[in-house]
Amino acid sequence: MKKLINRTIEFVAASLIGLVVYKLASAFKQLTLRFGSVAKQRALFPNARNLRLDVRTEIKYAENITFGRDVIVGADCCIGAMAPIVIGDLVRISRGVTLETGGLITRGELPYPHTAKSIHIGRGVWLGAGVTVLAGVTIGEMAIIGAGTVVAKDVQAGAIIVGPAYRMISADRRIEGK
């Protein structure tokens, strides 16, 4: 009986019916994600102008986050704002990015006490997939942070930063639109 069920499923999945079911399920998923994203964005950040916040993004301490206009936040990001996070206009935050203002003071007795320092992301910054920005960091305007980079210190305007222990490729890009 199990073989018959599996063969039937395989036959239907490989047929036009399977294709139609797949297309309908995909469209429903996209519609649900978009609806959830808009609802989450409007509930958490009602004053944000043209913010696109994926519903799968984890937000901690939303009241400490300020978005500029025309910001896009991709799926599976984590924004932990124990201290303020300020994100400028036209910022692009790719899939899986983490912004974390919190940390621990590792000197002294256990349990370690929490600490937090703000994060500032300038206008026109692009954070590639899987980037981590740690507490106390300022990223200057028009900087590009490559996928997988851990940013533990300030980044100057116009810089292109790549690598796990990043190295600067260029800091002489012209900042436009001012």
Q: How would DSSP label each residue in 21-85? A: HHHHHHHHHHHHHHHHHHHHHHHH-TT-SS-EE-TT-EEE-GGGEEE-SS-EE-TT-EEE-SS-E
Q: What is the pLDDT along the chain (178 residues), one digit of tens a residue?
A: 888 787 777 777 677 777 787 888 889 888 998 888 999 999 999 999 999 999 999 999 999 999 999 999 999 999 999 999 999 999 999 999 999 999 988 888 899 999 999 999 999 999 999 999 999 999 999 999 999 999 999 999 999 998 875 555 555 554 443 3
**52-53 and 72-73 strand pairing:** parallel
* Range 62-74 burial, b when 16+ CB lie within 10 A, else e: eebbebbebbebb
69 close to 88: Cβ distance less than 8 angstroms: no
The span from the CA of 25 to the CA of 36, in Å, is 16
Reported pTM: 0.81
